[in-house]
Each structure stands twice: as structure tokens, then as C-alpha cells.
Amino acid sequence: MSRLQLFVVVTPGLERLAAAEAAEIGLPAARVRVQHGGLEVQATERQLYAIHRWARIPTRVLLRIGAGTARRWDELQGVVREVDWGRFVAPGAPVSLHVASHRSVLYHEGAIAERVAAVIDRPIARGDDADPAQTAPAVQAVQAVHVRIDRDRVMLSVDASGELLHRRGWRTAGHRAPLRSTLAAALVRASGWTGDVPLVDPMCGSGTIAIEAALAASGRPHDREFAFQRWPSFERGTWASVTGTSRPDRLTADVIAADRDAGAVAATREHVTNAGLDGRVQVVRAPIAAQTWPDRPGVVVVNPPYGRRVGGDDLRDLYATLGRRVADGGHRLAMLSADPRLAAATGLEFDEAFTTANGGIEVRCLVNR
């Protein structure tokens, strides 16, 4: 069987966790290659659909649809012409072109886009409106096509995901610095939590970590539209069989999301309801020192404030309180940390699970020993 060549885009730093997740979804390790910023995957149509239904760490999935070498315009257009565009874009349906060229004879990205567009022969959505990640639902019907040229080697891909995958659909309330749900999923995975012991996020903000954890442990799929569902080659029967399979609900322990801030707690409550998790995530307003945590050892997963001072309290005290509570309860801690001195203030010893960026800041996921 000829396999689809996928590039599963992952935030740099999360690739190995994404590969472990892919293995659980049923992708054989021999068909997954970890690269910087993603996974090269050889997949069946069914596996492409299953990744979208179940994977929590990837940002988007690109399907490689053509490749070749081009130093002249006719060579580039020859590579584009070889693609059976009718499989991915219905006649008359709009596409957006995302061109990047490096170290190549054909370097002018605007001119490359023009030559490619002439062959694809579909309306081209232009400007910011053309980026499906940035735009309103109507524009998301635009099929994104990626053209990469590196050292004269052309790679053509179509975006299989549409709206970015970290957009789960439950986030409605504004909050300062929410964590991306894909990074929250990676944190939860790094903590080793699977749903059978309590999980606490004592500084939950808008609730991302607790919600991601509860959705994953309870075996809930992503229930939204993906770009591949608009492809003329979309296999309805295969999709129906993927959506017809379920995963076990392994959430048997308490999930607690707490924050001292009233606005954060209100946002978390709204998000828990939106995610269909009422009764499965407890939302509590209290500062960490006054929170009641389950009295059996569990897992604490947290994205504490990184700034020097928050709300007038010294952050060292906050981290010291966190460390004391974790040690007293015999809990496992997985924490995002941007500052080794604050991590040290917990008094705990850590191993580093991964390093990535959050909102442009380098952060480490630390797990206590």
C-alpha cells in the first residue's frame, strides 16, 4: 500500500513526547522519524485521520504531495503540475500559498507563488486573510498549500488540519498568558499522569492544564472540523470508522484546578463547562498556601508565574510554598520553569523532561526526583 508522507508539526522541544503519543495512536515506530520541529510519518489515510482525532501535542499536520528539483520556472511548474490537485482542492475552491525559499536559485517568494498559482488554477486567497491559523471560520475553508524550496529542492504540501490543532474549541474567556493546550498536553504526559491518582494545578489561570489532563485521561477525542474533510479525496467511510472507535475512560481520581484570582477561576469554570467536564474537574478559588489537596500522593502539574513579582508577593516565597506542599504530600511535580533560581527556591531536585518556548520565553519542564 502506498503510504501518505506526513510532516506532523510539533513545537520544538516536544518532538519525543509527540512520538510517544503517536505510538499510542497506533503509528509503528519504524514509520515515525523524529526531526527538529516535528515528526516525519508514513501513514495510511486512517492514521492521518486518527492523528487528528486523538493526538494532543501536534500543532498541525502537513501532507507531502510533490517534490522535485527546480532551478528554472518551467522546472518548478513541472513539479507542481505532477500533483493531482483535484484530490485536495475542488475546482473553484480557494487556496492560500505559503512560500519559503532558502539557498536556492529560485528565491523570489512572490514570483514563486505566482508561478505555482498559475498551475494550480484555483482562486488564490491573499494577504493575512489567507492564513487559516489567523482567521475567522469563513476563511478557514481556504486550503493552505505550502511550497518550500531549499537548495533547489522543491517540497509541496497541503495542510491537513485547517485551524491550528491547539485550538480545541473550549477557550472562550480571555486570560493573561494562557498556556497553549498542546504544551499543556506535553506537560501532563511528562508528569506520567494517567488518571488514577489525583492531579492538582494550584495556579490554573484559565484551566488549560487541568482540562487537557481530564480530556486525555477520559479518552475524549477532538470533536471539530479538519481541512482534510473538505478534500474531494476524503474517505467518509474511513472517517466514520475512526470516529466510531472510542478510547477507555481512565479518569478515576480527582482533578483540581485552583487559583487565587477570581477572574482566573471564573474563566476556568467557563472552560470546564465548555469542554464538557462539569463534575470531572473541581475548580477552587484559594491561594496555594490555603488550598486543600487530596491527602493521598498524586501529581501536581503547574505553570507558575515567571515574572519577578506578581500581585506584590515575592515569587521566591510562592515557589518555596509550592515545593513545601509537594514534598509534604509526597507528590510528583511537573512544572514549567523559566528561571533556575525560582526552581531552586522550591527546595526540590529535578530532572529536565524537555526545553521549549512559551510566549517567546525559553522554559524547561522540570519533574522532581
Ligand X SMILES: C[S@@+](CC[C@H](N)C(=O)[O-])C[C@H]1O[C@@H](n2cnc3c(N)ncnc32)[C@H](O)[C@@H]1O
Instruction: Give the binding site for ligand X (CB under 6 A).
Output: 175, 177-179, 202-206, 208-209, 259-261, 264, 287-288, 303-305, 310, 318
Q: Which three cell numbers stand for residue 249?
A: 475512560
| Beta carbon nearer to ligand X, 121 or 317 | 317
| Beta carbon nearer to ligand X, 149 or 203 | 203
CA proximity to 306, closest of 229, 245, 237, 360? 360
Parallel/antiparallel/unpaired status of strands 361-368 and 350-358: antiparallel
Q: Residue 121 contacts by C-beta under 8 Å, 6 or more apart in sequence?
A: 85
CB of 206 to ligand X, least distance (A): 4
| Beta carbon nearer to ligand X, 47 or 291 | 291
| Beta carbon nearer to ligand X, 132 or 202 | 202
Residue at grid coordinates 506584590 = 312
CB of 207 to ligand X, least distance (A): 7
| Beta carbon nearer to ligand X, 78 or 263 | 263
Report the length, in residues, of the chain.
369
Report whether 139 contacts 132 (CB < 8 A). yes
Residue nearest to ligand X (CB): 205
CB of 147 to ligand X, least distance (A): 35
On the 0-12 / 13-18 / 19+ scale of CB atoms within 10 A, 300 is buried
CB of 167 to ligand X, least distance (A): 14
- 95-102, strands of its sheet edge to edge: 32-35, 38-43, 4-9, 60-69, 153-159, 143-150, 95-102, 124-125
How far, in Å, are 127, 140, 239, 242 from residue 159 at the CA level?
Answer: 17, 11, 17, 20
CB of 259 to ligand X, least distance (A): 5
Report whether 41 contacts 49 (CB < 8 A). no
Helix %, strand %, coil % of the chain (to 5): 35, 25, 40
Q: Which three cell numbers stand for residue 309?
A: 513579582
- Facing residues of 314 across strands? 309
CA proximity to 255, closest of 319, 191, 298? 298
CB of 322 to ligand X, least distance (A): 9
CB of 257 to ligand X, least distance (A): 9
Residue 89 has what DSSP assignment?
S
CB of 262 to ligand X, least distance (A): 9
Alpha-helix runs per DSSP H in the chain: 15-25, 45-54, 73-81, 109-120, 181-191, 208-217, 236-243, 262-274, 315-329, 340-344
Residue 121's identity, in one-letter code, is D
CB of 338 to ligand X, least distance (A): 10
| Beta carbon nearer to ligand X, 99 or 185 | 185
| Beta carbon nearer to ligand X, 99 or 300 | 300
| Beta carbon nearer to ligand X, 202 or 323 | 202
- Hey, how many other C-beta atoms are within 10 angstroms of the C-beta on 168? 21
| Beta carbon nearer to ligand X, 163 or 259 | 259
